[in-house]
Amino acid sequence: MKNNIYYLIAAVGMFVILTAGTNFSGGSPGGKTGSPGDGGNTCTDCHAGTATSQSGWITSTIPAEGYTPGETYTITATGVHSGVVKFGFELTAEDMSNNKTGSLIVTNPTEMQLANSNNSITHKSAGTTPSGNSKSWSFDWTAPSQGTGNVTFYGAFNAANGNGNNTGDIIYKSSLSVLENEGSATGLTISLSGMTPHVGQFFEARLIDKATQMEVERMALNEILNADFDIVFSNVTEGKSYWVDFYADHNNNEYYDGIPTDHAWRLTVNNILDGTQINFVHNTNFSEIYWKHMYELEFNGMTPHIGQKLEVRLIEQNTMMEAGRSTLNTIDTDEFSIFLPYLVSGTNYFVDFYADLNGNGIYDAPPTDHAWRIELIDVEGDEDDNFDHNTNFTDIGWNYRFTLNASSMNPHQGQLFELRLVNQQTFQEAGRLSLDSVVVADFSALAVGLEIGEDYYIDFYADHNGNGTYNAPPADHAWRLELNGVEGDSELDFSHNTNFTDIEWPLTGIFDLANEIDLNVYPNPASDWVYLKSNDQIVTFKEIILIHPNGQLVRSYSFDNSSEIVRLNMENIENGIYYLVIQLDNNKIVTRSIIKN
């Protein structure tokens, strides 16, 4: 279970005995479980009402520490309904990517049978008679191979009144999630309790490596079924430190809207041990977690590139800055998906990707390598696209990543840290990174912009005096490294020292700027409100947004251009450094850095 991105989607579903006048008392037609892998299809399409969620209707002999790959266990599905005449069920098992997993085994062929290409199990006619007000079915399940990870059983139950049609029946649904037993260690478990206000709501959680400030794993629940539940992250490394960000979709639109519209929290786990468990009790001490949405790109017909490397990146169209990328070292099949958890609502992106056709490990313009660009417009939440292989190639001008592996940065924990790449020949900035806080002494800082064959200065500083901007050493601590003859993605190791260099850090560079106008932004630092006043009478503001240094959209503003002074609300925003990005009516961009305290 070592994929970069995981999903645990604990939605549940149901099937029907009677559908559109067709009698399914002899068994479900299959694929009606409501599970993610079955497309969410449920028999409420034909039966009136809404399926009722029940806990505890699916049980197993799988121990609390999880299943052992290859072992066989007994699964029991039980429905309960007062006055029931006939009871039917369908059940399936899916992994965290919503693939059917494990092997279902019929142990009572008189009452049960397999369905949906043997991917689910359902009743037969002889297996619909209840005992009093309940009916149970027991069968076996052989666990999948090692590394599959968490598995969820989705069960669907129809308490039928036996009137021969699809009216008057009551539909129930239930689920059971189990862990994979990886020995004594089970990753990181977050045990949540008291989540009663959010039962029935969408839920997402993600694990962020504090050293890189990059997401390493995420999970989602289509519906919180119980006030007390566990989530498990398996992709943890002992000794590392993490943030766990999670939210409940309080306004029920299935994506994160910020607090207090949605309810969100951040937990900190330092120097983790595999098998760590953290308890969380519901509270109203919300955290603004700057959630990034997931982008899924589904590839089809990639047969010409099997065995080759594939890289995908997201480029924010307004700034042409890279939001994130993913690399698949080897394409193993002609159909697959790539996930990139880097989307920000309201933003437009270019999606650039290439297959390394000539196998030299780096990008070459088409037709040497095959490359494409598609557009992603006006992101609203999680997004997905389908790509069918074609020969409409685009030269996407691929850039490479630089990683600074910094160690012993203890003197600068809690301080602003910035890094940029400067071409040694042209002295033009190729890329930069800004971290609003050094959170651990040993961390990695990543910037994008390297080109093959070029030489670069790697300039970086820690804001030692804490004023939110660069000052020459010794006020701030700054260094310069050299990177020569770039051959692709590159990295350098750096250990803290006092050999400082005045790197003459420019005040701008994150955006294409037009800062020649006379614009006052005050107070700075700001508390609850900030004011903009232009002394240039020809200037008209078109759009104003507030950006986190990591590129996350924090807030957009409406304003009255007829007013001499524009007033912007900074309430409920975490303390730190931000950028006001102001678009003028001539489409030029002006930025000002601002400190929120």
CATH label, 18-178, candidates 2.60.40.4060, 2.30.33.40, 3.40.50.2300, 3.40.50.360: 2.60.40.4060
Same fold, 18-178 and 293-388: yes
Q: What sign for the dihedral angle of Cα 297, 302, 305, 307?
A: positive
When computed from its CA atoms, the radius of gyration of the chain, rounded to whole angstroms, is 28
d(CA 102, CA 317): 43
- pLDDT band for 489, please (50, 70, 90 cuts): very high
- Report, at the CATH architecture level, how domain 293-388 is classified: Sandwich (2.60)
Residues 491-500: tens digit of each pLDDT: 999 999 999 9
- State the CB neighbour count (10 A cutoff) for residue 147: 12
Residues 84-124: tens digit of each pLDDT: 899 989 999 999 888 999 999 999 999 999 999 999 999 99
Domain coordinates in residue numbering, the chain: 18-178, 188-237+246-281, 293-388, 400-495, 519-596
Q: What average pLDDT does range 486-507 have in this prediction? A: 90
> Is residue 158 within 8 Å of 88, Cβ to Cβ?
yes
Residues 410-444: tens digit of each pLDDT: 999 999 999 999 988 877 788 888 888 898 899 99
Residue among 370, 386, 375 at smallest CA distance from 316: 375
**Buried/exposed code over 307-338 (b: 16+ C-beta within 10 A; e: otherwise):** ebbbbbbbbbeebebbbbbbebeebeeeeeeb
> Is residue 15 within 8 Å of 32, Cβ to Cβ?
yes
d(CA 394, CA 373): 6
Q: What average pLDDT does range 245-258 have in this prediction? A: 90
CATH number of the domain located at residue range(s) 519-596 in this protein: 2.60.40.1930
Phi-psi region of 122 (alpha: psi -120 to 50; beta: other; left: phi over 0): beta
pLDDT at residue 588 in the model: 64
Mean pLDDT score of the chain: 85
Q: What average pLDDT does range 123-146 have in this prediction? A: 92
Distance of CA 278 to the CA centre of its chain: 21
Residue among 456, 505, 455 at smallest CA distance from 478: 505
pLDDT at residue 581 in the model: 80
pTM of model > 0.85: no
Q: What average pLDDT does range 567-591 have in this prediction? A: 78
Provide the residue count of the chain.
597
Q: Is the peptide bond before 109 cis (omega within 30 degrees of 0)?
A: no
Q: How many helices (H) and strands (E) does the chain have?
A: 0, 40
d(CA 112, CA 124): 5
- Report, at the CATH architecture level, how domain 400-495 is classified: Sandwich (2.60)
Highest mean pLDDT among 14-23, 103-112, 534-543: 103-112
Which DSSP state fits 412? G
Q: Which amino acid is at 553?
A: L
- pLDDT band for 28, please (50, 70, 90 cuts): confident
Share of the chain above pLDDT 90, in %: 49
Lowest pLDDT segment from 122-131, 374-383, 500-509, 525-534: 500-509
Residues 345-394: tens digit of each pLDDT: 889 999 999 999 999 999 999 999 999 999 999 998 889 999 999 999 99
Q: Count Cβ atoms within 10 A of the Cβ of residue 257 and give its class: 0-12 exposed, 13-18 middle, 19 or more buried.
A: middle
DSSP 285-341: ------PPEEEEEEEE--GGGTTS-EEEEEEETTTTEEEEEEEES---SSSEEEEEE
pLDDT at residue 373 in the model: 96
